[in-house]
Chains A and B, each alone.
Chain A
């Protein structure tokens, strides 16, 4: 996933409505220039995206110049091979934006924010070699430059900070898991129950990263209903059911508990080892934040995550923590690109956090089944209020 670029699918005319309107304004501003500079292509430029046709031996753009600001290229693969399109700096080396993996016959949009200057475009049918290149010019539109030259540095800093956060949470998770496992295996149920929710918070804060290791997530966090017939059940929720048993549940035997505890520690060690080499990009942070709120909306606010212990609000808080940290790490970039969104997210995180605080008790929270329907609805509504703008974070920071 490139920085500064957000490929989107083509939707001539009826695409995201706000964007279409925006482009129309932009196109109108461009018109006088294109008329003067490139008469043949003014129709294409005026109608919206810059059309790019990529074939086996040609890379045809509807115009060779445009004005600075948000620029949309609509790349149509008219060839028989998978293709990609690049906007490169004048030196032809530095990648400003790219869109990959366009199958034959498909069209994909690339939206890029570019200041005035000279650039190079390239189609790369077959995804090999230097591609079919041409010069491209962006002239000054007079609009406030949207791009700070330090954006890349800010983004790198943000992702590095988040990586440290992930590492820290993983270490705390591992330490906590070991302590929990020890108590649980030794049959110290009260101690294990006390540690259960608080330890899981470290997991829930970094869940999207943990989930990216597809095999570890089910091993550590599968709920009983997630299992296929005959599949072995391991991880936190099996211990949960044993520690907070429903009526008629046959408790695990001591050897079963020991095995479950040992597996939990082993899988968490595996997770910790793998997160040390994980690579993060701004879009992963943005999407991760969004996914954490999705988790809250579908699993925690409904009480489905912790059906035996009812400690859903611990998970809830942890998911919100993880999302907020990702947002805060990206905030310096977002403030450059979309300060209104940054303000909106601040307000909505604060409102949700304030509501959640209402349900704090001691070191933790009240149990989910102690919440009234009204209280659940209020939380759900604040989650949605935050989730909607949060879903725009990725596009805002990578554009």
Chain B
């Protein structure tokens, strides 16, 4: 694994990864080598898989499209937002603690492999017994890692069901992992909401993201079942100053003022979870809380709205994204500057004003949403909108108050948006090689049996 700055660990950990395994990225590299004619006579058809793998292995060290899996925090939060999303929520159908822990270990191994551009399992998509179904589903063969990140979070349902603790996790549910209140206008569909474990897979290639969720679902059969899943295309936030601000399906730049990976102090203050109120929830320290909201946009109605109204509802120009108080995209909005009628140029009900930290006790969030379309609504309209994702330190202070205000006062929300799905998850901190996702939660507390 020479040249791979983060790839060494998982092999040292001694899990799986036999030498004969054919790398997905290896295939790609090999094709490149052969095509360039640099290695005379090499053609896939002439070589056994083992030979291929031997040739291919060193080439897996591609630096640019692999995001490190291990670290103090999980990848997929401050990672520069990739272009595509596949998120899924799973309900855990076993009540056995050891089974759950094994599932998390299995998922960790698979996520680790896939994020590095490798296949899942020990024999991957094509190297297993001829009479057995392949371990890896195979649709990502030949594709690069695509900057895949797989981020896991735990919903309230993992801790309790019908008022009873599950998996010996009495007292371990963090207080911040609340039940979100009903927000005005909510029209949540149960089969698009909740879930015991939420998995966010993001990649620059939709097939890679889908492959990740599909394989995790397959590994989980018998232990979990998919509760809902959501595809997203077109990131609606930038999470790094290297990235341009993208546009949502209203056609406006979205997330101009988002927290960025470079804002380390602000991330600590607004995104990273603290140690919590009780020792039993210290396992979340360094983690974060993921809020997911499926927000249907009435885009047909929006498209019939004058540009004047569109800009006033948002509070920014559509062309550049400059605040209506003047300047350019990144100019801070001036909420006090007034127009001729004595009303602020940034309207009192404008989205930017209501969402701005200045109007929300200085609270910030890291947004990481995606545009979505899911076919039609049966009435001739696209079922399209924003799959809102935010990572926050504590939803009680960093999401609920702002969303309540927006749901009541934001004309944009009242007239053009409808929340149809919702989930909240405690995203544990990252792990080191050899560990498994959420291991801190399953470490016995002093005094526990």
Which of A's residues lie within 8 Å of B, judged by CB? 7-11, 77, 82, 84, 100-101, 103-107, 127, 225-229, 231, 287, 290, 294, 297-298, 301-302, 304, 373, 376-377, 380-381, 384, 387-388, 390-391, 394-395
Contacts and interface: CB of A to CB of B under 8 A. Distances in A.
A11 B379 contact: no
Which 7 pairs show the lowest CB-CB distances between chains A and B?
A103-B326, A391-B304, A104-B326, A101-B339, A380-B379, A294-B301, A100-B340
Nearest to A127: B340
Interface stretch (B12-20, B56-64, B315-323): B315-323
Given A101-B339, A228-B184, A8 B324 contact: no
B278 interface: no
Nearest to B346: A103
Contacts of A107: 319
Contacts of A390: 304
Interface stretch (B253-261, B305-313, B439-447): B305-313
A377 B378 CA distance: 7
Contacts of B338: 82
Contact of B345 (A82, A297, A304): A82
Contacts of A381: 379-380
- Chain A interface secondary structure, helix, strand, loop or mixed? mixed
B184 A302 contact: no
A391 B305 CA distance: 7
Given A9-B319, A82-B326, A105-B322, A228 B379 contact: no
Contacts of B221: none
Contacts of B305: 290, 391
A290 B304 contact: yes
B404 A106 contact: no
A294 B299 CA distance: 11
Interface of B: 181-187, 298, 300-301, 304-309, 311, 317-319, 322-328, 331, 337-341, 345, 378-381, 404, 407-408, 415
Given A225-B184, A376-B379, A103 B304 contact: no
Contacts of B415: 294
B246 to A, nearest CB: 18
B192 to A, nearest CB: 16
28 contacts: A8-B306, A8-B308, A9-B307, A10-B319, A82-B326, A82-B340, A100-B339, A101-B324, A101-B341, A103-B324, A105-B328, A105-B331, A106-B324, A225-B184, A225-B185, A225-B186, A228-B408, A229-B182, A287-B306, A290-B305, A297-B298, A298-B301, A301-B379, A381-B379, A384-B380, A387-B304, A388-B304, A391-B305
A294 to B, nearest CB: 5
A227 B183 CA distance: 7
A359 B65 CA distance: 59
B183 A297 contact: no
A349 to B, nearest CB: 16
Nearest to B411: A214
B35 to A, nearest CB: 39
Contacts of A304: 187
A103 B323 contact: yes
A321 B204 CA distance: 50
A215 to B, nearest CB: 12
A106 B317 contact: yes
B269 to A, nearest CB: 27
Contacts of B322: 103, 105-106
A298 B418 CA distance: 10
Contacts of B306: 8, 287, 394-395
A384 B326 CA distance: 36
Most buried by A among B187, B319, B327, B415: B319
Contacts of A227: 182, 184
Contacts of A104: 326-327
A302 B187 CA distance: 13
A105 B326 contact: yes
Contacts of B404: 228
B184 A105 contact: no
A100 B324 CA distance: 12
Contacts of B327: 103-105
A326 B199 CA distance: 51
Contact of B379 (A9, A287, A290, A302): A302
A120 to B, nearest CB: 19
Contacts of B183: 228
B307 A226 contact: no
A287 B181 CA distance: 34
A127 B323 CA distance: 19
B184 A226 contact: yes
Contacts of B300: 297, 384, 387
Nearest to A128: B340
A80 to B, nearest CB: 8
A53 to B, nearest CB: 15
Contacts of A127: 339-340
Contacts of B182: 225, 227, 229
